Amino acid sequence: MSKPAHDIFEGKTILLTGGTGSFGSAFTRFVLKHHNPRALRVFSRDELKQYHLSREINDPRLRLFLGDVRDKDRLMRACTGVDIIVHAAALKQVLACEYNPFEAIKTNIMGAVNIVDAAIDNGVKRVVAITTDKAVNPVNLYGATKLCSDKVFIHGNSYSGPKSVAFSCVRYGNVLGSRGSVLPLFLKQKTSNTLEITDFEMTRFWISLQDAVAFVISSIRTMVGGEIFVPKIPSLKIVDLARAVAPEATLKEIGVRPGEKLHEVLITEQESRHTLNRPGEYIVLPEWFPSEKKRPYSGSELDSGFSYTSNGNSQWLSSKQIHSMIKDFMGDSSHPF
């Protein structure tokens, strides 16, 4: 893969929080292979995952920082000399957040506040936070904490002052095969010949890890500050995924779990009034629009009443695409489905 004429990471120091998670690991591998940063600092709490990452990637530009986004002092140290922050650290399991609300608030909200403070105090130039469709019209604590986190980052632009730190968010749907994803669960249940589905009508937005990484990098290159970048991605019925994994298995409907939506939303009708429609993406602009923020990109306005929902999406994964992504996840293109 050839690099663009202007490599946003060339000679830069990147801090990646949550760097040993599904997205973080994929981002690290891609950036070190296709770009030339001065250093990529992986900031996370899990020493074992950091050890495995260091064994997998033997690159002097990879730096491993043990730390927690709750710990502002450690975060301040990790941000010294950093040019770009990609914030992917979060407590993401819906039920875990429901039963441990204080922990979710400390990591997802107070961690975001610490990132904003550390970025401003260290003169970081660009900060992009990874968010989720569950932050839109949230019905569970995870979504509510991510909504608060998004607000912290977007309005962090108001606090940067003369240091000109730009804060933006990238919002997308379920990442195929990530930790906690339904696909690994279905593959495990396949051996029992019974797959459990919460609701046969349930739909979700889907994006691959590779596409998520590419979109985040594109957004970092485009961002000015205050934007929420939303990729145009396909939807999928959960029941269609189950049938692709195990065509002969019995599908058992078990009911929607606490804090779970039947369908997801990436852009609300309210947001669509200040959203740009661009090839491959939407950009939700901040409702406040400081005159000093000159935006070099353009796009068309959305129709009145537009909302971007997983069940109302115009783009759906075909049966062939579903089978292909399962094979890619399993790492065996010859696997029969």
Token pair recorded at residue 179: 């930790």
Residue 294 falls in the annotated catalytic set: no
CB proximity list for 283: less than 8 A, separation 6 or greater: 222, 227, 228, 229, 230, 275, 276, 297, 299
What is the Cα–Cα distance from 152 to 5, expressed in whole angstroms? 33
Q: What are phi and psi of 193, to 5 degrees?
A: 65, 20
Token pair recorded at residue 90: 């979060």
Which runs of consecutive H residues, i.e. helices, occur in 133-237? 141-156, 182-189, 209-222
The Cβ of residue 278 has, within 10 Å, a number of other Cβ atoms equal to 15
Among 180, 207, 177, CA closest to 280: 207
The one catalytic residue among 12, 92, 134, 237? 134
The Cβ of residue 323 has, within 10 Å, a number of other Cβ atoms equal to 16
Q: Any idea which residues carry the catalytic annotation? A: 134
